[in-house]
Structures are given as structure tokens and as C-alpha cells.
Structure 1
């Protein structure tokens, strides 16, 4: 809920999300109006809880839209709105092409076994 001072809004409520393979963290925080996605992550305390997060290299998104791509502002320029969820994305472990190659190989082996 936006907090108003007089007739102007002074702060907004947002969420910061970070998912690991085994669990996820969703933090509800209140930030001043005009806070960027990067500032919200810094203010949330998630970087202290998960020191493996490198904010310089991690991609950030708002509701599954990666910031800094497809015409969206960069994370340090995107000003948050009431109810936004800032998502911190972990880097891919494997290249997507390698994953597809491995899946195709596994499927081929299963097919060969079932035909024998």
C-alpha cells in the first residue's frame, strides 16, 4: 500500500525474490518512491543472506521480464512501482544448446533400448 504524505506518495511496497534449486526467498519491503530495482535489492538485505549473489553480474527482472532487454530500462534506471516484484536471476549452469544436445542423446538411447 502506497504511503502518502499530504497529497503525495512517499513510499511503496514491493517484493524481492531469489530462488535457489532447493528453496526460494520472497522478501516484502517498503522503499521510498523513486527507488530503482538495484537499490531495492541492496536495501532488502538479500545480499547479506546470500553472499554468492553478485549484483554486478546477476540479471534482475520484474515479474519475469528481464530488465535491460526488449526495450526495458536497465536495473539501475528502472524506478519501481507499487506491488512490483524484483527477481534476482541466477546464471545458467549449462549452455542451453548443451542441455538440448544431452536431452536428444538421452531420448535417442531410450528409443534404441525400446526398439531392441
Structure 2
């Protein structure tokens, strides 16, 4: 395989206590799904679920059938531990309890 017929990419998956990153060279026209399979992610970390949780390239959602472009960082997403809005409300409530004078309207 010559460099003209190959694309370079990186497959990433993060979880608590886990950081998976694997750089790959694939034939031009390979799909994101093929890149994830070639990385060995699903064998090493079966909790990764690209079909159920989705994938993206540089934080933009993509399909497993989309073609890999040279230099792509393929991210396999995971479920959120907490709803971001709910977490923010809890944080503010804790801050109000800790510093009640700070939150008094003047």
C-alpha cells in the first residue's frame, strides 16, 4: 500500500480510568466502522458501544458508514454519567448552602 492510497487516523475512547488511543493507516475510502474494528477497541474494551452511543470526528457526530479522511480523530462516545443541567443545578444548590451570604440579592 502506497501513501497515496492510505489515510491516517486515530481512534479514541475515554472512560473513567481508561484512555484508549490508537493511530492507524487504512486504505483510502475506509469507513469509520472499519477503522474502529481495525483499532481493536471492541476486543480490548467491550463496554465501548459505537452503535448505541454513537461516534464522531473532532466532536462532530458522524455515521459508522462515513469515509475516514486523512488526519481524522475518531471518537467513540459513551453514555453520560449525569444530565449536565441537573448536575449544574446540584452544584449551585451546594454552593448556596456553603455560602448563603453570597447569594443574597442586594
Same fold (TM over 0.5): yes
Structure 1: which 5+ runs fail to align? 68-74
Q: Is the 8 A contact 1:3 1:12 kept in 2?
A: no
Residue 5 of structure 2 corresponds to which residue in structure 1?
A: 10
Structure 2: which 5+ runs fail to align? none
Instruction: Normalising by structure 1, report the TM-score.
Output: 0.77
* Cα RMSD for the two superposed structures: 2.1
Q: How many residues align?
A: 103
CA deviation after TM superposition for structure 1 residue 114, in Å: 7.5
Aligned equivalents of 1:47, 1:41: Cα separation in 2:
8
Report which of the two has the higher share of helix: 2
The equivalent position to 2:86 in structure 1, one of 79, 84, 98, is 98
Instruction: Normalising by structure 2, report the TM-score.
Output: 0.83
Residue 40 of structure 1 corresponds to which residue in structure 2?
A: 35
Aligned equivalents of 2:73, 2:92: Cα separation in 1:
35
